[in-house]
């Protein structure tokens, strides 16, 4: 048990710096082009958790001068209808970035929708081209939450090089990209999921634990190695409160650094998303890498 307080990995101060940089980029873009960069958030049906997240994204856009718009599609829409709408946004020159809000209704093929996104507008890194670039260690659009988790560690000067890292969760949007990013930072990475034997035993070996399971209280202080660093990506509503996947109070007795929930990865996720939108709008950074990859694949 530790006697001093762990370092709190708060996302808001880091996010504020990122947003200020994005705001300056947006102003320069408007001066040059005469219009605001556009972000389209596609919402299929009415889903409460998505709606809250969506509201935060649009609010973040407004604050920095981005033209954020919600494209509402009725929940009864078919995969074909949704693909048609995404294709229309792909061709709209004022729309620099497109996000499709998850989860989609069960009758819609997630894969068919993701494959339709223009990879150079796919600012949340879901398209197979962007996922492939990340898997190969090349630059492209990376899921913003995963990037936020790793950027938060960097902002607090936590060097993961050589650390034993356990990522709990293997979704395409969070767990897998976090694991790939940590590998890129030279951590020794193990990914855990529901079929993992002895999760507590595995977590006990970890210098860094990143949790994205969506299970409140999954990771308890007693499971953690003393001095471990913990990044809690989970967002769960329990008794009207937002909590993570880590039992915060017991973890604080053991760890050297930990993200609060809310206030950790979440605020930085939105700032990173807007930064990625500006790359898409200007055709720089990951957008340029995607463009060049597409050209090479077309043999141009």
Q: Under the rule (CB under 6 A), what is the footprint of ligand NDP?
A: 145, 168-171, 173-175, 192-196, 199, 212-215, 218, 233-236, 265-266, 269
* Residue 7 or 199 having the CB closest to ligand NDP: 199
Q: How far is the CB of 276 from ligand NDP (least distance, A)?
A: 14
* Burial environment of residue 200 by CB neighbours within 10 A (0 to 12, 13 to 18, 19 or more): exposed
Cα distance between residue 53 and residue 237, in whole Å? 13
The DSSP letter of residue 119 is T
* Residue 148 or 293 having the CB closest to ligand NDP: 148
* Residue 20 or 52 having the CB closest to ligand NDP: 52
* Residue 211 or 293 having the CB closest to ligand NDP: 211
Q: How far is the CB of 179 from ligand NDP (least distance, A)?
A: 11
Q: How far is the CB of 233 from ligand NDP (least distance, A)?
A: 5
Using CA atoms in the order 40, 33, 22, 60, what is the torsion angle rounded to 10 degrees? -30
Q: How far is the CB of 275 from ligand NDP (least distance, A)?
A: 14
* Residue 130 or 289 having the CB closest to ligand NDP: 130
CB atoms within 10 A of CB 48: 8
CA angle 13, 15, 20 (to 5 degrees): 100
The DSSP letter of residue 185 is T
Q: How far is the CB of 259 from ligand NDP (least distance, A)?
A: 9
Q: How far is the CB of 292 from ligand NDP (least distance, A)?
A: 29
**How many H-runs (helices) and E-runs (strands) does the chain carry?**
11, 11
* Residue 81 or 262 having the CB closest to ligand NDP: 262
Distances 187 to 47, 167, 174, 238 between C-alpha atoms, Å: 36, 11, 17, 33
Cross-strand bridge partners of residue 39 = 68, 97
């Amino acid at each position: 048990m530790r006697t001093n307080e762990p370092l709190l990995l708060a996302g808001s101060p880091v996010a504020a710096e990122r947003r200020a940089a994005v705001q300056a980029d947006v102003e320069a873009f408007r001066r040059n082009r005469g219009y605001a960069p556009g972000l389209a958030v596609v919402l299929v049906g009415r889903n409460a958790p998505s709606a809250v997240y969506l509201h935060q994204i649009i609010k973040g856009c407004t604050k920095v001068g981005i033209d954020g718009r919600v494209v509402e599609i009725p929940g009864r829409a078919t995969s074909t209808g949704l693909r048609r709408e995404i294709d229309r946004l792909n061709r709209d020159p004022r729309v620099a970035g497109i996000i499709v809000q998850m989860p989609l209704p069960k009758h819609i093929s997630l894969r068919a929708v993701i494959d339709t996104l223009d990879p150079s507008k796919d600012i949340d890194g879901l398209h197979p081209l962007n996922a492939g670039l990340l898997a190969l260690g090349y630059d492209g659009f990376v899921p913003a939450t995963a990037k936020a988790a790793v950027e938060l560690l960097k902002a607090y000067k936590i060097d993961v090089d050589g650390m034993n890292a356990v990522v709990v969760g293997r979704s395409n949007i969070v767990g897998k990209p976090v694991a790939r990013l940590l590998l890129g930072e030279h951590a020794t990475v193990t990914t855990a999921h529901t079929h993992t034997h002895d999760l507590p035993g595995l977590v006990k070996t970890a210098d860094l634990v990143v949790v994205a399971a969506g299970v409140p209280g999954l990771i308890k202080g007693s499971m953690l190695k003393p001095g471990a660093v913990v990044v809690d990506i989970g967002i769960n509503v329990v008794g009207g409160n937002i909590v993570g996947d880590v039992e915060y109070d017991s973890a604080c007795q053991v760890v050297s650094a930990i993200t609060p929930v809310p206030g950790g990865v979440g605020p930085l996720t939105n700032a990173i998303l807007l930064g990625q939108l500006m790359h898409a709008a200007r055709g720089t950074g990951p957008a340029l890498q995607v463009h060049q990859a597409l050209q090479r694949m077309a043999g141009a």
